[in-house]
Amino acid sequence: MFDHGQPSYADVNKDIISTMLETGPKYWTLLGITVSVAGICFFMPWFYQLIVGVGAAGMNRNAVWGSYLSNFIFWIGLSHSGTLLSAVLHITNSPWRKAIYRSAEAMTLFSLMTAAMFVMVHLGRVWFVHWSFPIPNQMGLWPNFRSPLMFDVMAITTYLTASSIFIYMGSVPDFAAVRDASTGLRRRLYTIFSFGWRGTAREWHTLGWAYTFFAVFVIPLAVSVHSIVSWDFALSAVPGFHHTIFAPYFVTGAIYSGTAGIVTVMYCLRKFLNFERYIGQVHLDSLGKLLITLSLIWTYINILELFSTWYGGTSFELEALSFKLTGFYAPLYWEMLLFCAFVPLLMLFKKIRWSWNKMLVISILINIGMLTERFIIVATSQPRKFLPGAFGYYVPSWIEFSITVGSFAIFATLFLIFIKWVPAISLYEVKETLRPLRRDA
């Protein structure tokens, strides 16, 4: 599991906590860039849109949903591997989870936050967002719980809450370790964060049970979240949206893009925080195998979607299918297939699977493909529904492109802040994979 020899317990504390306590100019420069890009590319265009209205985006009468929603699905999808993978691997007691799960869970949290930002941007009048929550008010407004959009509000709120608790509770023993390694204000803060944790057998015992229950709750929750996102589309009668396969299609796609996202994040952690000692070939190899499996399932579901549309034979569905395969957006469709169905097959070769650089490129290509997939779902269906009078085209405006770029900067900013406040690798779980401190070990 350890490519560069097994570290001692003290090394684990020192290596991981030092990445939080020591901050060089490289970090501040990077943070400055991401904050600036987030401000210029995301918040400034958004404020412009708030002033002039959602007409600033490229959405029109034929396509009332655009890139904001495809970005929303993409970020929700990216969030899926972190907590879900961590919970599944915790329940199945997989040792390779221990070095990577903390950052993967953080990815979940920050992807969800970024996704939530897109809901705000898409809404237009963001100051009315609280109307979608069941909050008593003098206007007698109340959410309609038969609407898939309300399922979404409930599911995502629950997912954000559960994921935050899951990552926080798993970090409590490590907060105590940071407290013990620091002084002054930082020590006082981590005393509060760690709840006064001492690592007694009773505390470990209770945390172990609670953590397992969190994992048990989170697994079906994660599956439900993306299924529900898919029903935002599938419960409508729009050709291209109305597929029963959509729930597993979205869940598989979400786990697929999330796992690819983990590879990208792990590459950065190794490179910039010098975690080569902890994140090694075994992690890359396991993630690679998982990606191949997910790629094959994803491809199978895509074939199924095409087949069921053709076999159904409805003229509206056939028109939407033909538009997707050969119409205006067809190059994007074939690009998606190339990046998500064919390129990942390269990982069948061990030589590729064991190369960090090649895996980085593949993981980025997969996520470009998955972002495209979400765009295709939104952009090719609505402007092609039923009667030719409703046919049209949708091309994102520069505001939408800018906000899309800015969303990646928001995610990166949140992640950069995270690595300075929370140990990016779980100290105590890595220690569990080391030789025990026994005389005979």
Angle at 375 between CA 369 and CA 381, to 5 degrees: 130
Out of 65, 101, 151, 298, name the contact with other proteins by CB under 8 A.
151
The token pair that represents 3 in the structure block: 């490519």
24 binds other proteins (CB under 8 A): no
Name the residue nearer to other proteins (CB basis): 27 or 217: 217
Q: By CB under 8 A, what part of segment 71-110 binds other proteins?
A: none
The answer for residues whose C-beta is within 8 angstroms of residue 321's C-beta and 6 or more apart is: 240, 306, 309, 310
DSSP character string of 257-297: HHHHHHHHHHHHHHHHH--TTTS-HHHHHHHHHHHHHHHHH
For 375, counting Cβ atoms within 10 Å of its Cβ (0-12 exposed, 13-18 middle, 19+ buried), the class is buried
CB of 323 to other proteins, least distance (A): 30
φ, ψ (nearest 5 deg) of residue 333: -60, -45
Could you give the 3-state DSSP secondary structure of residue 232?
helix
Which x/- pattern, by CB under 8 A, does the window 181-200 give for other proteins?
x---------xx--xxxxxx
Binding window for other proteins (CB under 8 A); candidates: 158-166, 266-274, 294-302, 390-398 = 158-166
CB of 22 to other proteins, least distance (A): 18
Tell me which amino acid residue 143 is.
P
364 binds other proteins (CB under 8 A): no
Residue whose C-alpha is closest to residue 157's, from 179, 177, 133: 133
Name the residue nearer to other proteins (CB basis): 93 or 315: 93
Out of 8, 18, 29, 308, name the contact with other proteins by CB under 8 A.
8
Out of 87, 106, 121, 162, name the contact with other proteins by CB under 8 A.
162
154 binds other proteins (CB under 8 A): yes
423 and 17 Cβ atoms separated by less than 8 Å: yes
Tell me which amino acid residue 135 is.
I
Between CA 96 and CA 90 the distance in angstroms is: 10
CB contact burial 385-410 (16+ within 10 A = b; e otherwise): beeeeeeeebebbebbebbbebbbbb
Tell me which amino acid residue 41 is.
C
Out of 23, 206, 274, 314, name the contact with other proteins by CB under 8 A.
206
157 binds other proteins (CB under 8 A): yes
Name the residue nearer to other proteins (CB basis): 207 or 352: 207
What is the size of the binding site for other proteins (CB under 8 A)?
62
Out of 56, 116, 207, 352, name the contact with other proteins by CB under 8 A.
207
Between CA 417 and CA 31 the distance in angstroms is: 8
Between CA 197 and CA 174 the distance in angstroms is: 9
130 binds other proteins (CB under 8 A): no
203 binds other proteins (CB under 8 A): yes
438 binds other proteins (CB under 8 A): yes
The token pair that represents 107 in the structure block: 């990815």
300 binds other proteins (CB under 8 A): no
Contacts to other proteins by CB under 8 A: 8-10, 13, 134, 142-146, 150-151, 154-155, 157-158, 161-162, 165, 169, 172-173, 176-177, 180-181, 191-192, 195-210, 213-214, 217-218, 220-221, 224, 228, 427-429, 431-432, 436-440
